[in-house]
Amino acid sequence: MPLVTTAAVVLQTYRYSETSKVVRLATRDLGIQSAIAKGALRPKSRFGAGLEFLSEGDAQLYYRDARELHTLAAFDATNLRRGLASDVARFAGAAALTQLMLKMAPPAPLPVAYHVFTSGLDALASVPEGVVDAAAVRALWALVTELGFGPSLRACVRDGTAVADEREGPVAFNAAEGGVLCARCAAGQVATRLPPEDYRDLVALNDPAVELPILDAPHAAAHRRLAARFVRYHLDAVSLPALDFWERAAWVRRHPAPAAL
């Protein structure tokens, strides 16, 4: 059984026995893989604290194509990303991104998707507080696009009609169709109508070459909902708890409305 070394991020762990656990990894060279880390739960494990959620490092796997569970020989952590745990909004965005990677990425080489994923995590760990939501939405859209499910934003998904950046009226976006609809195709359709400013923000959030838009709380919530709705539809997934938590910003305390007099 060959020993393969690849860059990897820990996506999930769970107990396998009294002393071992299974690790779900996003790897650059092998895609999403599962491996047993023997002895990882022992007090003096050779893995130490390296197998934490979202830690990144060089994984050594005894790997065989025909198996679904490999053996993790070593994991040399290079980036523990503990800063993500200091802020719930950053952590929630990272967890949603991780769930997307787990659900959508295949067990095949993913060098570009791996880079997009880790870049999104790094951005969430480092961006100023005021653009954390925007950074999370951008990272989600970027990963969806790299995994082959990206939305069409410049042209109508039905007939290819160009949709200009500057419009007087709203732009129709339909998650089931896969993106924007021109005025003719949107007639009579159930779709999200994006005001011109929101449409421009959506385009910016899908373009890593431009500066992140500044989103106030209501607009950030709207963009989270739109991205989450798109992901759910194209994953055909009923339960995505990390995505649900991030979409609803469930960590934010809502003040009850004042009682009617």
Burial of 218 (0-12, 13-18, 19+ CB in 10 A): exposed
59 and 125 inside one domain: no
Closest CA to 83 of 38, 120, 122: 122
74 and 87 inside one domain: no
pLDDT of residue 3: 95
Examine residue 259 and state whether it is found in any structural domain, yes or no: no
The domain that contains 67 carries what CATH number?
Answer: 2.40.50.140
The domain that contains 143 carries what CATH number?
Answer: 1.20.1440.120
Examine residue 19 and state whether it is found in any structural domain, yes or no: yes
pLDDT of residue 66: 82
Examine residue 260 and state whether it is found in any structural domain, yes or no: no
101 and 199 inside one domain: yes
CA distance 49 to 103: 26
- Digit-by-digit pLDDT tens for the chain (261 residues) are 799 999 999 999 999 999 999 999 999 999 999 999 999 999 888 888 789 999 999 999 999 988 899 999 999 999 998 889 889 999 999 999 999 999 999 999 999 999 999 999 999 999 999 999 999 999 999 999 999 999 999 999 999 999 875 456 899 999 999 999 999 999 988 899 999 999 999 999 999 999 999 999 999 999 999 999 999 998 886 689 999 999 999 888 665 544 443
What residues make up the domain containing 20? 3-80
Strand, helix or coil for residue 12: strand
pLDDT of residue 260: 43
Please measure the distance between the N-terminal and C-terminal CA atoms of the chain and give it in whole angstroms: 74
pTM: 0.91
Could you tell me the two tokens for 249? 């910003």
Could you tell me the two tokens for 27? 């790897």
107 and 225 inside one domain: yes
pLDDT of residue 180: 96
Domain count, the chain: 2
Who contacts 160 (Cβ-Cβ below 8 Å, separation ≥6)? Answer: none
Examine residue 173 and state whether it is found in any structural domain, yes or no: yes
205 and 115 inside one domain: yes
pLDDT of residue 125: 94
